[in-house]
Amino acid sequence: MHYLQVLSKIQKQDQVHAKKRAPASVTRFAVSVLICLTLTLPAFCQDGGSAEKETYGNGSVIFVSVHDGSGELISTPAMVKLCRGTIPSGRQQTSRGIAELVVTTLGEFTVDVSAPGYEATQKDLSVHIPGRAQVDVYLRRSPGGGSTSGVPGRPVLTPKAKEALDKGLLALGVDKTADAEKYLNEAMRLAPGHPDVLYAQGVLALKQHNWAQAQTALEKATQIDPNHAQAYAALGMALCDEGKCDAAIVPLEKSLQLDASGTWETRWALAKAYYHHEQYDDALKMSQQALAVSNGKAPEIELLLAQSQTAVGSYEDAARTLRNFLKNHGDRHEAPTARRWLASLATSGKISAN
């Protein structure tokens, strides 16, 4: 039997066991709101002391200071969006260059900042101490000083619709889906044609495993705003969750075309779609990118990398990838899978048994 057939049989067995362990993870494939260039400036977190502990509990207030190229606080109102992992956690417009966002849970966040006449920028932030956290973001002028705020004719949210959307995003960020549904339904009533509202509705539907509703909302968001990279990514991930990997390729590719910085979740989903479509060279390249961009957040990407390396005949590379995974993550539930694949490479004569 051809080796890829053997590996495919093992993979199908693993997938059956995986489904018994847990349902498909929506949050793994939900989309982050990453807009443009990643900056490497450090984020600083401070312990606010017992008084702030009483105020914020186990959460934190995040102060985002937005600077222009000279280092001065930006005078133009900028929109700051916050995501915890892959779920929107809130947004706020700056006042005199500063935005304050309160989060009720700690962890890893992504801060997105956009302002007319500047290139949109994103930055990662770790918040592990309750109280206060500070992050500085520096914006660069867009070529010609033009606006990057969206496509012409894009609907504008009324204050009430914006408030409902913001509350819905905050509820999504802490997995309060019932509250999120209430607020997002209100936002939908007030602004049914706004792409950000449709995008949020799509993310909510993903969390509820309502694939058809998610697909409908996200497709409509991309039709209204053809430059909505996040909606394209979420749509592709929804299709992946449905097992429609072939159909997922186009929206995932479109998302990365619109947002070259992209997210590791988007790249991982696209790598999986390529692999299932037997585009193994593309799967190898994209899985390598996903692993690099993830910065260790999803070591299981190494298994997809090993699959892709095997598919293109790079057996020794695949073995090294699997051994590296077992060395660093031997306690993870994917470890038995990695051991079986490594043993299969050896018994099939593709690599040395040592």
CATH code, domain with 67 = 2.60.40.10
Residue 163 and residue 145 share a domain: no
Residue 295 and residue 255 share a domain: no
Q: Which residue has the higher pLDDT, 174 or 249?
A: 249
- The per-residue pLDDT for 88 is 76
Q: Which residue range(s) make up the domain with 286?
A: 3-26+278-347
Task: List pLDDT tens digits, range 280-290.
Answer: 999 999 999 99
Average pLDDT over residues 160-179: 89
- 354: confidence class by pLDDT, cuts 50, 70, 90: low
Q: Please give the tally of structural domains in the chain.
A: 3
81 is a domain residue: yes
Q: What whole-number distance in Å separates Cα of residue 119 and Cα of residue 69?
A: 11
User: Cα dist. 334→215, 273, 291 in Å?
Assistant: 30, 20, 16
326 is a domain residue: yes
333-345 exposure pattern, b = at least 16 Cβ within 10 A, e = fewer: ebeebbebbbebb
- The per-residue pLDDT for 34 is 28
- The per-residue pLDDT for 130 is 82
- The per-residue pLDDT for 137 is 86
110 is a domain residue: yes
User: Cα dist. 337→143, 160, 243, 349 in Å?
Assistant: 49, 50, 21, 19
Edge-to-edge strand list for the sheet holding 60-67: 44-47, 131-138, 60-67, 98-103
269 is a domain residue: no
pLDDT at 21 over 70: no
Average pLDDT over residues 319-325: 96
Q: What whole-number distance in Å separates Cα of residue 12 and Cα of residue 329?
A: 22
Nearest to 157 by CA among 167, 147, 146, 142: 167
Q: Which of these three, 94, 120, 149, is where a domain ends?
A: 149
Task: List pLDDT tens digits, range 250-287.
Answer: 999 999 998 887 889 999 999 999 999 999 999 999 99
Task: List pLDDT tens digits, range 43-66.
Answer: 323 333 333 344 445 678 888 999
Residue 156 and residue 138 share a domain: no
Share above pLDDT 90 across residues of the chain, in percent, rounded to a whole number: 39
Name the 3-class secondary structure at 268.
helix
Task: List pLDDT tens digits, range 214-244.
Answer: 999 999 999 888 889 989 999 998 898 888 9
User: Cα dist. 185→159, 182, 202, 325 in Å?
Assistant: 15, 5, 12, 43
Residue 341 and residue 309 share a domain: yes
Tracing tokens 């660093």 back to the chain, one arrives at 328
Task: List pLDDT tens digits, range 178-187.
Answer: 999 999 999 9
Residue 171 and residue 93 share a domain: no
**Residue 293: burial class (beta carbons within 10 Å; 0-12, 13-18, 19+):** buried
Residue 99 and residue 143 share a domain: yes
Q: Which of these three, 262, 297, 317, is where a domain ends?
A: 262
User: Cα dist. 47→44, 59, 108 in Å?
Assistant: 10, 11, 16
272 is a domain residue: no
Residue 231 and residue 184 share a domain: yes
Residue 255 and residue 176 share a domain: yes
Q: What whole-number distance in Å separates Cα of residue 322 and Cα of residue 314?
A: 12
Residues with Cβ < 8 Å from 285, sequence gap 6 or more?
Answer: none
- The per-residue pLDDT for 184 is 95
pLDDT at 165 over 70: yes
pLDDT at 29 over 60: no
Indicate the average pLDDT of the chain: 79
Q: What whole-number distance in Å separates Cα of residue 228 and Cα of residue 119?
A: 15
Average pLDDT over residues 310-339: 95
Helices (DSSP H) in the chain: which residue ranges?
3-21, 26-29, 49-56, 159-173, 177-190, 195-207, 211-224, 229-241, 245-258, 264-276, 280-294, 301-311, 315-329, 335-347
**Is the pTM above the cut of 0.75?**
no
User: Cα dist. 9→5, 13, 28, 202 in Å?
Assistant: 6, 6, 25, 34
170 is a domain residue: yes
Q: Which residue has the higher pLDDT, 279 or 7?
A: 279
Residue 157 and residue 139 share a domain: no
- The per-residue pLDDT for 58 is 67
282 is a domain residue: yes
